[in-house]
Structures are given as C-alpha cells and as structure tokens.
Chain A
Amino acid sequence: MENTVTVTIDGITVKVKPTATILDAAKQAGVRIPVLCADDKLHPYGSCRICLVEIEKSPRKFTPSCTTPVADNMVVKTMTPDLFEARKRILELLLCHHPLDCPVCDKAGNCQLQDLVHEYGLGPSKFTEKKRVVPPNYKSAVIDREVARCVLCGKCVRVCREQNAVGELAFTRRGKESKVSTDFDQQLDCEFCGECVEICPVGALTTKQFKYRGRTWNMERTQSVCNYCGCGCRMVYETRQGRIVRVRSAARNYLCGKGRFGWDAVHHADRLTTPLVRVSGELVPATWDEALAMVVTNLNVIKNKRGADSIGGLGSVRTTNEESYLFQKFMRSAIGTNNVDMLARLKVPKGLNTTFFSGELSNISGHDVVLVLDGDVAELNPLTGIEIVRAVNRNYKKLILVNSGYNKLNRIASCVLEYVSPDAALADLLPALKSGQGTGAVADAAAILKEATSVAVIIPARLPDGTYYQVRELLSLLKGATTYPVVKRSNFLGALDMGVLPGYYPGYQKVSPDVVSRFASAWNCMLPEIPGKNALEMLDAIKQGSIAALYIMGDDPAGSDAGLKPVLEKLEFLVVQDIFLTETAKMADVVLPAVSSAEKAGTLTSLERRLQGISPAEEPLGDAQPDWNILQTVAKKMGSAMHYASPSDIMKEIRALVPLYADLAVGSVWPAEKSPLHGSETNLSLLSDSVEKNDVITSERLLFSSGTTTTRSKELTTVCTFKVEA
C-alpha cells in the first residue's frame, strides 16, 4: 500500500490511509470503539463523545476517535480506567432526561444506548433533579417521533441530508432545548424512506407499522430482495408467528418507502385465496381441480380448433426468473406458440440491454460527473438516486441535471439544464460539446463534461428514436461514459433474460432452426419455428379475432390502460394468474390465485443484471400457489412433462440451457459483452415514435407508486399523494 501511516491501537499496529480517522484505524485493527453518532454512511460529526480514546503524548487527556485523523506513529489506547469512567459519565449525562421506558420501547433489544448502559454497568445516577418532559409527536404519517428518547446524535438529520438530499429533519433551538424537528414542527412531508428510523440508535424514531407488533428478540429473519423497482435492494423480512411484522434493509443497505413499508400489501384483504371461475357471467370460487380443468379444456379446444397461434401469453415483471422461464416454456411447449411477451416492454428505453447496459449502481459515485437525463430517476429508481447523491455529497463529484421541474437533485446539482425533455437539452448540449457553441447552463455543462475522464449517464425510462440517437452521439463524445438506464419494474430484466420474448428463447437466443432444435431436444417436445407476435401485435390480433385466448401471468393491462378493456372483451377465453383481483382478473374466465414474493423462493435479476435470491417469509395465503407450480400443473394436464420440485430445479435447467446463467453465482452480475444482442441494433423496447404509450395519469407520487401492489399498501396509500416539491 502506498502512502500509509502506521498507527498502534491497543498494541496492534496497522498501516492505514493518512486520511483515516482513529476510529477507521481501530476497525482495521479489529478493535471495537463504542459509538453512538458515528456511522459509515455519514461524515464524521463528533457529538456524542462516547468514542473518546487516549493518545500517548497528546496534550489532551481524551480525544474523540471518530473525528480525529491518524498521525504517523500515533499510539492509541481505547480502554483505560479513565476512559471507562469517562464513557460511563457521558452515558450518565445521556440518561439524565432519557425516559427509561424500555419495556414499551420498540427499540429495546436493538438499542445502542441500552446496550452501552448495560456494557458500562451504570448504577443509580447522581442526577436527582427534575426530568424534562417532552411529548411525543404522532402527527406524521408512517413515522412517529418519540422526542424525549432522542440523544441528539444527529444521525437522522444527517442521513436525510447527506444520503437522501431531502433534509426534512433538522435541529431546532439550542442547548438543552435542542431537538430534531421538521419545518415549524409540521408533519413529515418527505420520501418516507424510513432511513431515519433505521439509523436511529435509540427509540426516538419508530414506525407506526411496527408499533407494539413484537420484540426484536422474538423475531425470525428471512433474507430477501425487494420486488418493487429494478434496483433490487436486499432486505430482511422480520416475522413473528409466521407473519411479517417489519421489513428492514439487509446489512444496512438503503431501502426506499416502497421497499420498507410497502410489504403490507401482502396482507391486504383483497388477496386471492382460492381459484375463481366464471359461471353464468359471475366469477365464483372453485377448487383447483375445477379451475384447472376449465383452463385445460378451453385451451385445448381453442388450440385444436384454431391452432396454437390463436393463443397468446403475457408474462410479468414481478415473477421470478424461474417463473418467467417456465411461462415461456409453457407457452412454447405445452401450448405450442411463440406468442409470448410482456406489455412492460412499452415502458423501457429503446436500446436497453443492447446499446445501454447498466453499470453497477455502486460505481456511480466514483465517476467524475453524473449526467442525469431523467429528472425523475430518484423517484423511479430510488437507489440510483441515492448513489447520485452519494457522488455529490460524499465524494464531491459534479452533477449535471436535465429537469424542467424541481426536486431533490436540483438542490445538489452543479448545473441544471431546464429543458422539458432530454432531446431538447441534448439538441443544445451536443453542439456545445462538439464546437463550443452554447451559453449559460449549457456551456457550463459542456465545460464540466469536457474536463471529466469518466461520466455516469442516467438513461431515461422513455427514450424515443430521435433521443436514442442523440444519446448515442453523446456517449461517443464523452470520455469514460457508463450508462445507467432507468428500469421501473423489478424483474423486467430477468423476464427478458428468461426469453419472455416472441423472437427469442432464454438468453436472447434467436428463434432459429438451431436454437429451436436444441430446446426441443432438451425439453423433449415439438416447438414452433416461427417467431411469435409481440404484445402489441397480440392486442391487434385480438381485435381482429386471430387470437382467441390469452394467458396472463401477473399483469394487469386493463388496470393500467382502460382502453384495453374492450379489446380483452373480444377474447373467447382469458386466464389470469395474479395475487389480487385486478381489473384484468375481473374480466377473466378463470382466475388462478398466485402467491406474493414474500411467500415464495426463486431468483430475480436487477437492473444491474445481478442475480439475487428471494426466500419465503410466510406460508402461501389460503389456497394460493406460486406461479411456477400453477404453470407446471397446467402444463402437466395438457400433456407436457414438467417435474419440478422447487424453483432450484428450474434454475438447474436454466443454467444448462442459458449460457448467460450457466455459471452466474447468486449475487453477481452477468457481463454485458456475453449477451448475443450486445451492441446490436435490436430493440427490446416496444416503444417507438409510432407507439406512444402514456402512463396512466394518477395523483400518486411516482416514488410511492408501483402499480397494482402499492395501491394495496396501507402505509403507502397514506403518503402516496404527498406532493413532490413545489
């Protein structure tokens, strides 16, 4: 290691960077120094004074380790009788006005103050004066503030400003009157990510959702992955008696409001618990046998009468890789058609996973400059937003933002291009980059970009043809550009990888005689040789009557676009697998109840192309079954041989047939160059200048909105209409 200094901590000598603090050096030496206000996510602050240490030959008796940089040959002691006494005294001060309400505090058992008081063995306090009484603040949605318990470490204030760039919390007043508050003590009006609750070392910030729901030591924990947007944040379900009571971020990662609080949708009363079949116009509960018999009979009749290509399948962005794989296999082998696609392809940028492969999100903060072409990125992919903020607030990098409105990124941007759309901004920025034309913000942005040796480019979720070519030109003009496309839905990439595409088998293997024969022999069946219809073509075919039956797994076309209702009404037969009775399910002939991602195992592929595993935290609700099992049961009844005992059996088959996944370990990213479509002109988006798919206009804030599921989260519906920012 070049440029290091040598420090001795409690007799252990380590070499550390000269910019390291004593606390950093102690961590490296494996020595624990107790802390309250220090956190790896934040800049040092030095307020709690618990982390005091003694430095040999220092004029000061005690030195705070979290804020003091190391010096060469520094000799540090982290525990002496004096230090023990000093920390004990600090704890005594912290307890002066701290209510000892641990028996009813949600933080008990997980409270750093409680642990330290226990460790330092505090007895009766010399403090016998009157305790301050500070009332709690229950005004806000989602989050309660038990002000009296606060130790004023400032972590919530700092995480909200430094990590989130929101700054909803701040200190008000001073001295003993100091408190963490909102503007004029109003209710919270923020992103409701709950990071403040997570980082609070005591019980000063708690969630309404978890209040009195359980003690931390009674909880079972299940590692999983959030299934809302494409970021794929790792998280932990905490369950008590088989029911989820709380979701927390795994290993102190970030979670947004959807990830942390939106899980309660799985307990919503609208969950489907039994199959439904249409009897004289009405959907009525049925047994699995009845429902499946109806599915199989109708599909067989239509297939025999009108051919396999008169049946279409629409897959989901929420189901696991295994389920998506099985869905296309079911459509191709059991039904015998390549008519398999996803309507979500209307909501991704052109060039995704052909021209624009995402870099790893954790690398964003390492670039010299972050160029954000989609002002909504922090709402659509909150983790991407957090990494952009980290680049600026933690690493002092520059941010160029294209945004006609105002949001948190405006607050930290070095340069804001106020254009209504990225194409208008690029129309001015490209000439400025090429020949130095341009004035004002455009000239500033061009100057910043020219100086940069590496640039992170955030690709917008909507990218019309014209803009696509502009972005490609932009990338050719930048040094060291890495793209980070916005991907709204969680397992969109996984579904693409798994071949829920009419023209491609899993792993982007084009429907061709070679590929078809390879899969036919692996699957031991006959397979169709011509590419199928894409989702839009299927809708047209339904209108024209050439598609008579549709099998939908986990999507709600009628719910996201009411204009599709009359189209779906033309179908002879509609099967829907879902967890809720969606608008589309209400039109179905058979509704098959699936389980949510909290009740099943499998893998998801994030927008970084990272393979991650989810695990069941609860038993399936009622008679609901995982999508993969429903599919294989239907397939079996239609005469296909599918015998999977678990999702891992399916993954084995995927690894054998999909080179991209052959040796892709869970937790790793598949390399972009390995994709057969890498650098090709293939467009995996269905969006083009001739097809403009507009999102449903809702009053919901994008940050809290993720379609069908979020609308059934009690917590999210309390905050979803909070305004963004004026």
Chain B
Amino acid sequence: MEKMLLKRVDIPNANDIDVALKHGAYGALSAAFGMRPVDVVNEVKRATLRGRGGAGFPTGLKWELCARVPGSLKYLLCNADEGEPGTIKDRFILHQDPHLLIEGMVISGYAIGAERGYIYLRYEYPKAIGILEKAIEQAYAKGYLGKNILGKGVNFDLSVHRGAGAYICGEETALIESLEGKRGQPRIRPPFPASQGAWRKPTVINNVETLSNIPFIIGMGGDAYAKIGAETAPGPKIYGVSGHVNKPGVYELPMGTTLREIIYTHCGGIKGGKKLKAVIPGGASTPILTESHLDVKMDFNSLVAAGSMLGSGAVMVMDETVDMVNVAYVLVRFFAHESCGKCTPCREGTAWLYQVYTRLMHGEGKEGDIDLLLYICETVKGKCFCPLGEGAIQPVLSSIKHFRADYEARIKSGVVSH
C-alpha cells in the first residue's frame, strides 16, 4: 500500500509549511469548503472511519451528534495526549507532519461548526510543542487558519494546550477537565461531550491519527477510502512496534494486517532468532496475546474476537526469555501510578495489585497469591468510573491466563528481580 498518513514523514523538513505545501499539504481544504458541512460529515460516515485513539467509535457519527446540537459556540479538540505505554504513532505526525493534522482539524471544524480548536499535547512531548506552535503560526500566516480561510468565509482558530503529565488526561472527559484548568479526572457521562463538553459547549474530541485521515477521505472520497483494509474499519493504520523485533518502528499498513505479517514481514522477525513468547497488540491496557494468536487481523473486531483489543495499535513483542511476572509488574506499577484516585476500585485495586506484585518481585510470593491477584481483579472489574481501572487488570488477567507457569515458578523459587 502506498503510504498516506506517513507520506511526508520521511521528507526532510516537512514540518515547514513551504516544504509541506510542495508535497500536497492543505490540498483538501478547498474541496472540503466546496461541500456543505453536512456533506463533509456524510463523506466521513461513508468512509466508515473509526477513531484511532483506542475505542474505535465511528468518527462520522461523533461529528454528526455534535453538528446537530444547535448553537454557534462549539469546540474541536485534538487528543494528542499519546500516553498509552508503547504508543508512538502520533508523535511522528506531530513532529514531522503537523500540517496534515492542522488541515484535518480545519476540515473537521468546518464540518461540525466549530471555530475554535485545541490540540491537547502530552507533557512528555516537549519537542512537539515548538514544532506545533511554529506550524500553527505558519498556517496563520498563509491563511490556512484564522478568519476567512481561503476567502471562503470559514473561520478556525487553533492553539496548543500542553498537559501536565497524566495518563488519565487521554480519556476524553478528563482531557476536557484538564483543558479547563481543573484536576484531570474523568467526568460523568451523560452529558456526552458532543452535547456538553469543554466549558459545557458541544465538543468533538478526536485522536491525532483520526484527524490526519480526514484530508485523504475528502481527497479520494469516502467510498474509495472505505475500500482500504478491513471492511469493518477501513483505512490505513499506523502500527507502532516495539520490543524484541529486528526492526522496531512505526509502520503504516492497511487496517487488518495480520500480527504475523507485521512482526515477521515488516519488522524482520524476532531478534536473535529467538522464539516469540507474548505480544501486547494495542498498548498496555489490551490483553496479552501469544504465538497462537499470530494470524489475528489487527483491526477492532478481529482483535476483540481474539480476546484482546486494537487499542492504539502499539504492538509490544516479547521473546521467550521474558518473565511475564516482570511484565505484569511493570504495567501494574504504571496503572497504579496513573490512577487518578477518583473511584474506589481503581484507586485501591491498582494499589493493592501493585503491593502484591512488589512482593512477588522481592521474592516474597506466597501460596495463594495467584488467586489473590484474580480476586483483586474481580473486585475491580465492572465497577470503575472510567476505562483506566478496567484496563489496569488486563495485563494481570491475561498474563495469568496464558503464563500461569511463570507465576508458579516465581512463587516457588522466590527469585528476586529488579
């Protein structure tokens, strides 16, 4: 497949507007402005684009819900809080091709009737902030942002808001709270952001990669776009592969490429010719898979059928030398650290899990610890305020399910690891 989203990423200085323009940036704007906003929404619906942030919500539907709410003041927020461990896809667009994102946001804003946009950038991307701010300044200077864009009477203002370093702010309602200057904690839904989001106004929140797809959908038409990749969730998908592979990196492939193809064809197989032990297919909160799952298609529905989730498409590959207790420990530590503390099960449950894992790591595992871990997961399950707590138990449940022997060995031997 010819690269779309990452087309300009390899071009030197493509984050400069002049270079980007030479390579087709902002080409879809005038086509979009030639359509009625409702037709832009319909085009995206025809493309059956699903959100790339992890939940896979149909983007066109999200837009339609917001566009339908009466009122002139609406917001478009770009979720650039790429915090899911293992995920590196958005960073490439933010660093190398910010104009693709800006173009996508201007079109989205036009479609939903929002004249104000914010890019909520994760704190840990310090380099991106300068690049984005420069890109926005250039886009203003060239008239792709601001008042009366392309002389078509479309207004769109855009600025960057830097987060304060919390995983939870990738959750859309916590992101809104944080943007409003409040503590990063998820909000009660309903009301959903589409009707009452930022500052209680209708708001659409899309992931960087989702918004970056928009210019192509407008450019090639929704029907043509829908023919790319998996039928249930078409389009290109950026997979970020890390771990024990020969060529880790970011790969743009059609949605639904198999795990085997990603690891063995594109990433050159497992390092040192070792055997594959485990794969996390979509970031830290997606259940761990094993070698037996290698032929799963990497799209939303196929992965759910396989007992996991596409998440952000961050593939983490582990070879046979890896002790899965260590892996679960690291992930649980992350979630316990990032739990916002609002709801009881997530706050207390992740902390308890972390205490048990810390014991295991110190060689102080006890008979019955596996049952205890499953008990805690059961305690947390289905009761949390937001998906963080539900995600936090996935590494525990799936690692015990597939690699119980690792736990038993750890408890028996009492090995201390760091």
A631 adjacent to chain B (CB < 8 Å)? no
Nearest to A153 among chain B residues (CB) is B344
Contact of B359 among A44, A129, A170, A174 (CB under 8 A): A129
Known: A44-B188, A47-B385, A126-B372. A171 touches B183 (CB 8 A): yes
Nearest to B335 among chain A residues (CB) is A175
Among residues 165 to 200 in chain B, which have CB atoms less than 8 Å away from a CB atom of chain A? 166, 168, 183, 185, 188, 190
Among residues 449 to 493 in chain A, which have CB atoms less than 8 Å away from a CB atom of chain B? none
Contact B338 A46 (CB under 8 A): no
B344 to chain A minimum Cβ distance, whole angstroms, is 5
Known: A44-B188, A129-B359, A175-B338. A170 touches B183 (CB 8 A): yes
Contact A90 B166 (CB under 8 A): no
Among residues 118 to 176 in chain A, which have CB atoms less than 8 Å away from a CB atom of chain B? 126-127, 129-130, 151-152, 154, 170-171, 173-176
B15 adjacent to chain A (CB < 8 Å)? no
Contact of A175 among B190, B351, B356, B383 (CB under 8 A): B351
Known: A93-B348, A129-B359. A177 touches B341 (CB 8 A): yes
Question: For B385, what are the chain A residues with a Cβ–Cβ distance below 8 Å?
Answer: 46-47, 49, 64
Contact of B352 among A46, A96, A151 (CB under 8 A): A96
A187 to chain B minimum Cβ distance, whole angstroms, is 22
A677 adjacent to chain B (CB < 8 Å)? no
Contact A127 B352 (CB under 8 A): yes
Q: Binding site of A, secondary structure by majority: helix, strand, loop or mixed?
A: loop
Known: A94-B348, A96-B352. A69 touches B190 (CB 8 A): yes
Tell me, in angstroms, the Cα distance from A44 to B349 when the chains sit together. Answer: 23
A67 adjacent to chain B (CB < 8 Å)? yes
Tell me, in angstroms, the Cα distance from A62 to B344 when the chains sit together. Answer: 15
Contact A62 B341 (CB under 8 A): no
Question: For A67, what are the chain B residues with a Cβ–Cβ distance below 8 Å?
Answer: 188
Contact of B344 among A94, A127, A130, A171 (CB under 8 A): A94
Question: For A86, what are the chain B residues with a Cβ–Cβ distance below 8 Å?
Answer: 382-383
Known: A48-B344, A90-B345. A175 touches B336 (CB 8 A): yes
Contact B340 A174 (CB under 8 A): yes
Contact A176 B372 (CB under 8 A): no
Contact B341 A174 (CB under 8 A): yes
| Highest count of chain B CB atoms <10 Å: which of A151, A154, A174 | A174
A367 to chain B minimum Cβ distance, whole angstroms, is 21
Known: A46-B188, A127-B352. A178 touches B347 (CB 8 A): yes
B57 adjacent to chain A (CB < 8 Å)? no
Among residues 76 to 96 in chain A, which have CB atoms less than 8 Å away from a CB atom of chain B? 86, 89-90, 92-94, 96
**Could you give 18 example pairs across A and B, Cβ below 8 Å?**
A48-B344, A62-B382, A62-B383, A86-B383, A89-B383, A92-B379, A96-B348, A96-B351, A129-B352, A129-B356, A152-B344, A170-B183, A174-B339, A174-B340, A174-B341, A175-B351, A176-B336, A178-B347
A52 adjacent to chain B (CB < 8 Å)? yes
Contact A126 B375 (CB under 8 A): yes
Q: How large is the interface on B (under 10, 10 to 19, 20 to 34, 35 or more residues)?
A: 20 to 34
Nearest to A396 among chain B residues (CB) is B200
Contact of A176 among B190, B347, B378 (CB under 8 A): B347
A614 to chain B minimum Cβ distance, whole angstroms, is 42
Nearest to B355 among chain A residues (CB) is A129
B127 adjacent to chain A (CB < 8 Å)? no
A252 adjacent to chain B (CB < 8 Å)? no
Nearest to B359 among chain A residues (CB) is A129
Question: For B188, what are the chain A residues with a Cβ–Cβ distance below 8 Å?
Answer: 44-46, 67
Nearest to A62 among chain B residues (CB) is B382
Give a binary string over A32-68; 1 marks a CB under 8 Å from any B CB, 0 the rest. 0000000000001111111010000000111010010
Known: A129-B359, A178-B341. A61 touches B382 (CB 8 A): yes
B359 to chain A minimum Cβ distance, whole angstroms, is 7
B198 to chain A minimum Cβ distance, whole angstroms, is 17
Tell me, in angstroms, the Cα distance from A487 to B10 when the chains sit together. Answer: 74
Contact B342 A47 (CB under 8 A): yes
A623 to chain B minimum Cβ distance, whole angstroms, is 56
B343 adjacent to chain A (CB < 8 Å)? yes
Contact A93 B352 (CB under 8 A): yes
Taking A90-B344, A93-B344, A174-B341 as known contacts, 10 extra A-B pairs with beta carbons closer than 8 A to each other, sorted by chain A number, are: A50-B344, A86-B383, A93-B349, A126-B375, A129-B352, A152-B342, A154-B342, A171-B185, A176-B348, A176-B350
Tell me, in angstroms, the Cα distance from A265 to B342 when the chains sit together. Answer: 40
Report the 3 A-B pairs with minimum CB-CB distance, sorted nearest first.
Answer: A178-B341, A176-B351, A93-B348
Contact A47 B343 (CB under 8 A): yes
Contact A176 B339 (CB under 8 A): yes
Contact A175 B339 (CB under 8 A): yes
B134 adjacent to chain A (CB < 8 Å)? no
B373 to chain A minimum Cβ distance, whole angstroms, is 11
Give a binary string over B118-141; 1 marks a CB under 8 Å from any A CB, 0 the rest. 000000000000000000000000
Known: A60-B382, A86-B383, A175-B338. A49 touches B350 (CB 8 A): no
B201 adjacent to chain A (CB < 8 Å)? no
Tell me, in angstroms, the Cα distance from A588 to B168 when the chains sit together. Answer: 69
Question: For A173, what are the chain B residues with a Cβ–Cβ distance below 8 Å?
Answer: 341
| Highest count of chain A CB atoms <10 Å: which of B345, B349, B383 | B383
B404 adjacent to chain A (CB < 8 Å)? no
Question: For A61, what are the chain B residues with a Cβ–Cβ distance below 8 Å?
Answer: 382
Among residues 340 to 384 in chain B, which have CB atoms less than 8 Å away from a CB atom of chain A? 340-345, 347-352, 355-356, 359, 372, 375, 378-379, 382-384
Question: For B350, what are the chain A residues with a Cβ–Cβ distance below 8 Å?
Answer: 175-176
Tell me, in angstroms, the Cα distance from A93 to B376 when the chains sit together. Answer: 9
Tell me, in angstroms, the Cα distance from A598 to B348 when the chains sit together. Answer: 45
Question: For A151, what are the chain B residues with a Cβ–Cβ distance below 8 Å?
Answer: 344
Question: For A46, what are the chain B residues with a Cβ–Cβ distance below 8 Å?
Answer: 188, 343, 385
Question: For B355, what are the chain A residues with a Cβ–Cβ distance below 8 Å?
Answer: 129-130
Nearest to A82 among chain B residues (CB) is B382
Among residues 306 to 346 in chain B, which have CB atoms less than 8 Å away from a CB atom of chain A? 336-345
Tell me, in angstroms, the Cα distance from A176 to B354 when the chains sit together. Answer: 11
Tell me, in angstroms, the Cα distance from A461 to B262 when the chains sit together. Answer: 77
Tell me, in angstroms, the Cα distance from A175 to B343 when the chains sit together. Answer: 9
Tell me, in angstroms, the Cα distance from A130 to B356 when the chains sit together. Answer: 10
Tell me, in angstroms, the Cα distance from A129 to B360 when the chains sit together. Answer: 12
Question: For A64, what are the chain B residues with a Cβ–Cβ distance below 8 Å?
Answer: 385
A89 to chain B minimum Cβ distance, whole angstroms, is 4
Question: For A130, what are the chain B residues with a Cβ–Cβ distance below 8 Å?
Answer: 355
Question: For B359, what are the chain A residues with a Cβ–Cβ distance below 8 Å?
Answer: 129
Give a binary string over B377-395; 1 marks a CB under 8 Å from any A CB, 0 the rest. 0110011110000000000
B380 to chain A minimum Cβ distance, whole angstroms, is 8
Question: For A69, what are the chain B residues with a Cβ–Cβ distance below 8 Å?
Answer: 190
Contact B341 A93 (CB under 8 A): no
Tell me, in angstroms, the Cα distance from A173 to B339 when the chains sit together. Answer: 10
Tell me, in angstroms, the Cα distance from A50 to B355 when the chains sit together. Answer: 24
A22 to chain B minimum Cβ distance, whole angstroms, is 13
Tell me, in angstroms, the Cα distance from A173 to B347 when the chains sit together. Answer: 12
Tell me, in angstroms, the Cα distance from A126 to B356 when the chains sit together. Answer: 12
Nearest to A61 among chain B residues (CB) is B382
Known: A129-B355, A175-B336, A176-B336. A49 touches B341 (CB 8 A): no
Known: A96-B352, A171-B183, A175-B336. A152 touches B347 (CB 8 A): yes
Nearest to B384 among chain A residues (CB) is A49
Contact A52 B383 (CB under 8 A): yes
Tell me, in angstroms, the Cα distance from A173 to B348 when the chains sit together. Answer: 14
B342 to chain A minimum Cβ distance, whole angstroms, is 5
Question: For B338, what are the chain A residues with a Cβ–Cβ distance below 8 Å?
Answer: 174-175
Tell me, in angstroms, the Cα distance from A651 to B236 when the chains sit together. Answer: 85
Question: For B166, what are the chain A residues with a Cβ–Cβ distance below 8 Å?
Answer: 174
A258 to chain B minimum Cβ distance, whole angstroms, is 32
Nearest to B372 among chain A residues (CB) is A126
Tell me, in angstroms, the Cα distance from A130 to B359 when the chains sit together. Answer: 11
Tell me, in angstroms, the Cα distance from A174 to B177 when the chains sit together. Answer: 15
Question: For B168, what are the chain A residues with a Cβ–Cβ distance below 8 Å?
Answer: 174
Known: A47-B385, A170-B183. A93 touches B379 (CB 8 A): yes
Question: For B339, what are the chain A residues with a Cβ–Cβ distance below 8 Å?
Answer: 174-176
B271 to chain A minimum Cβ distance, whole angstroms, is 34
Question: For A178, what are the chain B residues with a Cβ–Cβ distance below 8 Å?
Answer: 340-342, 347
